[in-house]
Structure 1
Amino acid sequence: MIRITDIYKSYQIGKNTLPVLKGIDFNVDKGEMVSIMGSSGSGKSTLLNIIGILDEADRGTYNLDGIEVKNLNEKIAAKYRNQFLGFIFQSFNLINYKTALDNVALPLYYQGVSRKKREEKALFYLDKVGLSNWAKHVPSELSGGQKQRVAIARALASDPKVLLADEPTGALDTKTSYGVMELLQQINDEGKTVIIVTHEPDIAAMTKRNVELKDGLIISDKIIEPVRATLYV
């Protein structure tokens, strides 16, 4: 599914070059649930951005579902993101003046899906995350946990091959965080590949594989028996 080989990435800070990734090899198979951990500056968000085709490596190769991701113009990059990837962010990234239904339907608009089918699919995924009764509410009328569930429904709406979650529980209290993780575990149980960036060990313990970065290198990569979030919800 994801094949990353010898990836390097640096950023120019004034006259200085800051190396962030220093030769990363990272593979993810279909159906895995992986957490990427590391302290601030370890490179975990940069790695996720490269996987999400939001940034491009300086060196190395990246294959996504058999397609080499390299030197893409923004139109092609957006097409691949919409076709293969669903994004979940710490800050939810919902459009404040649109309803939950419209937020979830938005990726389908860019796929050219008719309005009727967009709304049908959006309502289906809102129901999947337990929010069908909140379809007509705007984000300001939702709790943090509800907003994240809308964001998850939006990420699922275009039926991506991989869900990428950047600190999805970072803005939530513990109980709400575990509720979100319970939902992500259920989605993974159904066969969806899930990659989560987190700095929280208890959240990482709910995934099936823990990858740790330090100073731009993977220092640990372990298969674990995940803790089920239902034990804490």
Structure 2
Amino acid sequence: MIEIKDLHKSYKTGANSLHVLKGINFNVKEGELVSIMGSSGSGKSTLLNILGMLDEADEGSYTLDGTPIKNLNEKIAAKYRNKFLGFIFQSFNLISYKNAMDNVALPLYYQKLPRREREERAMHYLEKVGLADWADHLPNQLSGGQKQRVAIARALASDPKVLLADEPTGALDTKTSYEVMDLIQGINEEGRTILVVTHEPDIAQMTKRIVNLKDGRIIDDTLVDQVKALSHV
């Protein structure tokens, strides 16, 4: 599903250049649930931005579902993001003046689906995350866990090939974090490919494979015995 070969990325900082990714090789098969770990400055955010087509590597190749991702202008990058990827963010990134259903339906608007179909699909995914009764509520009327569930429903609405979750439990308390990870595990068990960026070892143990980054290199890539999230609650 994802093939990364010899990926390099540097950023100019004044007269200097900061080499952030130093030859990353990384494959993810369809249906995997992988966590990416690393301290601040390890390169995990840069790698996630490249996977999410929000940034481009200087060298190396990135192939997503058989499609080479390179030299994309913003219009094509946006089209590919909408086609291939669903994003889940630490800060939820919900639109404050839109209710839960409209937030979930937003990616479908950009796919030019008719309004009724957008609303039906949004309700389906709100139901899936246990929030059908909250469809008319605005984000400020929802708890942190409910906001993240809305964000997950929105990420799923466009039926992406891959979910990219950037610290999806970072703004949540422990119990709510495990409930969100239970939801992510369930989505993965249905066959969805998911990458979770996290700095929390207990969250990483709830995935099936842990990739550790340090100073722009992968130092460890291990299959793990997955811990079921709700066994902690």
TM-score of Structure 1 vs Structure 2, range by shorter chain:
over 0.9
Distance 1:20 1:158 in 2: 32
Q: Secondary structure, in 3 states, of the residue corresponding to 2:27?
A: strand
Q: With structure 2 as the length reference, what TM-score do the two structures score?
A: 0.99
Deviations 1:60-107 (A, max 9, x none): 000001110000011100010000000000000000000000000000
Listed one character per residue, the Cα deviations across residues 145-190 of structure 1 (whole Å, up to 9, x for unaligned) are 0000000000000000000000000000000000000000000000
Distance 1:169 1:15 in 2: 37
Cα distance between partner residues in 2 of 1:67 and 1:27: 14
1:12 Cα deviation from its structure 2 partner: 1.0
Paired residues, what number?
233
Classify the secondary structure of the residue corresponding to 1:168. coil
CA-atom RMSD in angstroms: 0.5
Secondary structure of 1:18's counterpart equals strand
Runs of 4+ with deviation above 4 angstroms: none
Distance 1:212 1:186 in 2: 24
User: Which residue of 2 is the match for residue 61 of structure 1?
Assistant: 61
Aligned to 2:94: 94
What is the SS of the residue equivalent to 1:182?
helix
TM superposition shift of 1:27: 0.4
In the alignment, the residues of structure 2 paired with residue 79 and residue 232 of structure 1 have an alpha-carbon distance, to the nearest angstrom, of: 39
Corresponding residue for residue 125 of structure 2: 125
Structure 2 match to 1:37: 37
Uncovered stretches (5+) of structure 2, i.e. residues with no partner? none
Task: Return the alpha-carbon distance in structure 2 between the equivalents of residues 193 and 68 of structure 1.
Answer: 18
CA-CA distance at 1:141 after TM superposition: 0.3
Question: 2:49 & 2:29 partners in 1: Cα distance?
Answer: 18
Listed one character per residue, the Cα deviations across residues 178-219 of structure 1 (whole Å, up to 9, x for unaligned) are 000000000000000000000000000000000000000000
Quick one: percent identity of the two aligned structures?
73
- The alpha carbon displacement at 1:232 in A equals 1.8
2:202 corresponds in structure 1 to 202
> Counterpart in 2 of 1:7?
7
- How far apart are residue 13 of structure 1 and its match? 1.2
The 5-angstrom pairing of residues 39-188 of structure 1 reads: 39-188=39-188
Structure 2 residue identity aligned to 1:232? H
What secondary structure is seen at the aligned counterpart in 2 of 1:152? helix
| Alpha-carbon distance, 1:225 to partner | 1.1
Rounded Cα–Cα distance in structure 1 between residues aligned with 2:32 and 2:143:
29
1:221 CA displacement: 0.1
Q: How far apart in 2 are the matches of 1:216 and 1:100?
A: 38
Q: Give the secondary structure class of the aligned counterpart of 1:54.
A: coil
Specify the alignment match of 1:225 in structure 2. 225
What is the TM-score of this pair, normalised by structure 1?
0.99
* 3-state SS of 2:211 partner: strand
Q: Distance in 2 between matches of 1:212 and 1:55?
A: 21
Aligned to 2:214: 214
TM-aligned CA deviation for residue 230 of structure 1? 1.6
User: Which moved further from structure 2: 10-19 or 172-181?
Assistant: 10-19
Deviation (angstroms), 1:16: 1.3
Q: Which amino acid aligns with 1:131?
A: L
Question: Where do 5+ consecutive residues of structure 1 fail to align?
Answer: none
